[in-house]
Every structure is written in structure tokens, then in C-alpha cells.
Amino acid sequence: MTAVLNNTVTVFSKSYLPLSQVNIKRAIILLVTGKAEALDLGESSAKTIQVHSPTMVLVVPQQIRLTIPHKEKAWRIPAVNRREVLRRDKHTCQYCGSTRHLTLDHVIPVSKGGQDTWDNIVTACETCNNRKGNGTPEQAGLVLRTKPKAPVHPIVAFAAQFWREHKKVQEEK
């Protein structure tokens, strides 16, 4: 019983966009109150989770779709912060790939008008950062391995991940 309750269910919006993952209790509440319905994504999603109570068995689909409009919370791109930059860059120097002695580097130095923005701050090891000094990557002969980006809306990120994993499941079949 407790293991079953650790299951999660993917919630889709009324317009079929994957929104989030909720725990099974929350999903059951949405289903029994009529705020959501089972969503069939084809054979790979035919799996259901059975929840037994003393008097009945509830069959909960792994994907549900809201039948009510989804109210979106206001979201803004968060301010640049060290923890998120390191996470985005997978704790890897964006110039040489080193994972040691990491610092944050302004791609265009502040002295040359570079700003504290997501696309101008990358993870760099001390060696590359020193080599770059107050110059641009080109001046130091360094090349960025990836183009630094700002975090995307959590729903967009969730949807991208959901479809990536869904596709993987389909391919494994």
C-alpha cells in the first residue's frame, strides 16, 4: 500500500500539454472531484496503478488530463546565481571541460560592458579564467563549448523532459 502511494502521475493541461508530476493521492483527488480525467497516450501509457483500500480498488491511470482550465502561476527568469549556473553547466568548465577549481566567468568582461546575465556568465576553471583575464574568449584563444542560456519556464522544461522520456520508452519497445 505505501509503495503504491509513492507512485506519481503526470498531469496534462486541458489542451494536452504535460504540466507536472503529482503524487498519486493528489491525482485521485483530481479524478474523484472531476477536475481531471484519464488520458490515454496509446499503448505505452496503458499502465495503470491499482490502489487498494479496505473497501475498493481504485485504478489510477499514469497520465491524467485536467478538465478545468489550468491557472498558471506567474514566473520570471530567476536572477543569475552561482548554484544554478554550475548546475546548468554540469559543473564543467565551459572552455576546457575541467571539473576542478571552478569559478564563474563573465564571457564579455564587465570592464568591456559585459553584464550579469545568464547568457554572459559561464562556469570556468581557474586556469581558463586566469588565461582569459580581462579579455574576450577570442582574445584568449578560448572557445565556449555550449551557448549559455537562461533557465526556461518550469512547465516548458517539464514538457521537454516528459516527451524525451516518453519517446525513449516507445523506442525501447
Binding residues for Zn ion, rule: CB under 5 A, are 93, 95-96, 98, 125, 128
Provide the grid cell at 118: 545568464
CB of 124 to Zn ion, least distance (A): 6
Q: Are strands 8-12 and 18-23 parallel, antiparallel or unpaired?
A: antiparallel
- Of the pair 7, 98, the CB lying nearest Zn ion is at 98
Please report, for residues 59, 162, 163, the alpha-carbon distance to residue 70 in angstroms, rounded to integers and kept in the order given: 24, 18, 20
CB of 98 to Zn ion, least distance (A): 4
- Of the pair 58, 109, the CB lying nearest Zn ion is at 109
CB of 97 to Zn ion, least distance (A): 7
- Residue 21 makes CB contacts below 8 A (sequence gap 6+) with 8, 9, 10, 11, 158
- Of the pair 31, 107, the CB lying nearest Zn ion is at 107
CB of 95 to Zn ion, least distance (A): 5
Q: Is 134 exposed, middle or buried (0-12, 13-18, 19+ CB in 10 A)?
A: exposed
- Of the pair 95, 162, the CB lying nearest Zn ion is at 95
Return the SS3 of 170.
helix
What one-character DSSP code corresponds to residue 73? P
